[in-house]
Every structure is written in C-alpha cells, then in structure tokens.
Amino acid sequence: MARFNKMQVLHAMSGTGMVPVFYHKDAEVAKNVMKACYEGGVRAFEFTNRGDFAQEVFAELSKWAAKECPEMILGIGSVVDPATAAMYIQLGANFIVGPLFNPDVAKVCNRRLIPYTPGCGSVSEIGFAQEAGCDLCKVFPAGNVGGPSFVKNVKAPMPWSMLIVTGGVEPTKENLTAWFKAGVTCVGMGSNLFPADIVAAKDWAWVSAKCKEAFGYIAEARK
C-alpha cells in the first residue's frame, strides 16, 4: 500500500480539482477504471464502501495501485462509523469520506493524521466539522442543498472553508464552471464519469478522455 501524508492528500485534491467516486464488486473492473482515471490525470480516487465484501475489493485495489498507479492517492467513501474507518485505514486508505458528519470518525482519522471529509448539508454542520479538524468538507447532496449558490453563500461569511461537492456534478463546461466560480476546492464525480454502458463495454479510453476533458473545463474555470 502507498501511504501519503495529509498535506499530500489535500494538495492532490485541490490541485487537480476532481476526485472520481466509484464502486464495483469486481476488483478487475475497479482496477481498470482507476487506471483509466490515472491516465486521464486523476491523482485522488475514492472507492466507495457500498457492497458486500467491499473491503476485500479495496484491499486488492490498494496493493495494486501502489505498483501500477504510484502517484494515485486512494481513499474510501460512504463511511458512517469509526469502526469502518479504522478498518479501511488498516487496508491503506489515505482519506476517509462520508455522506454525513460523525465526530467519532474524526477522532479515529485525526489520531492517524488521515484526512476526513464528512458530508454536510448545512452551514452549522460545516462549522462543527471544521471544529473537529476536518479541513475539507463535502457538500452533500450538493445539487439538492442549493447547488453553486449554496457554496457561494457559505464562502461569503466563512471564506476559509474548503469544500468539495458531490451529487449533481457533471463533466460539462457549464456545470463545472458554475461550481468553481462559486468557490469549490474540488468536485467529486461518479456515474457521469463512468456510465454503466461504458464500463460494460470496457471502453477505458473513453473514461480517460472524459477525465482529461473535465480537467480542461476546471482549468478554464479557475482562470
């Protein structure tokens, strides 16, 4: 497993501006998707804890990534409790992401200096997460809690906030420009980067190209 420090993780997320979010029960499919993202410029990748034996797939992915994608920072998503966070840290997770904020997860992660990015749907939740040591907070579900205007209005009184948005993010110029102009640090993107038919067809070149295209829009929006 490759172990990256907290600053490297946050730098990769903010530097590239995009974290793909993916789950598949087949480790070989997951490896191919991650490799395609890596070749498309991705340097932080979130595998989600969503199916039976997800930890076994993640363990295999973690060991494989250390050799095949050495600069890739692999993290785990959909974590809601401290025991699950601890298990994945042991398996090599370099960051922990959740759909909600659990202060007990923050304690586990802080002890090991592992970045914890909790899901927050209100200004108060973002504030509580920041108090608990969460540098990067996830606005989730971003499209439902107010979209880019929510981010812009949070950043006005709390300009120090580092926010990643997941849910309602699309790899289009219009969508990505709106989020980055509002002030997000980065975006998380799932099914729009890996449509089911593309994965079924094993069209990994399409995934790489879509990542490169998204990065181009992000770079343009940041100017």
Calculate mean pLDDT across residues 22-47.
Answer: 98
Cα angle at 16 between 14 and 19, to 5 degrees?
Answer: 85
Over pLDDT 90: what percentage of the chain?
A: 98
Q: What is the DSSP letter of 16?
A: H
- Give me Rg for the CA atoms of the chain: 16
pLDDT, the chain, mean = 97
What do you get for the CA distance between the two ends of the chain, in Å? 36
Q: What is the pLDDT of residues 65-106, one digit of tens each?
A: 999 999 999 999 999 999 999 999 999 999 999 999 999 999
What confidence category does residue 1 fall into, taking pLDDT thresholds of 50, 70 and 90? low
Global pTM? 0.97
111, pLDDT greater than 80: yes
For position 2, what pLDDT does the model report?
Answer: 66
30, pLDDT greater than 80: yes
For position 165, what pLDDT does the model report?
Answer: 98
42, pLDDT greater than 70: yes
Per DSSP, the residues of 65-77 read HHHHSTT-EEEEE
Q: Residue 128 has which token pair?
A: 């509580």
| 6-221 to CATH, choices 3.40.50.450, 3.20.20.70, 3.40.640.10, 3.30.70.20 | 3.20.20.70
Calculate mean pLDDT across residues 42-62.
Answer: 97
What confidence category does residue 3 fall into, taking pLDDT thresholds of 50, 70 and 90? confident
Q: Which residue has the tokens 């997320």?
A: 13
Q: Which helix (H) or strand (E) holds 188?
A: strand 186-189
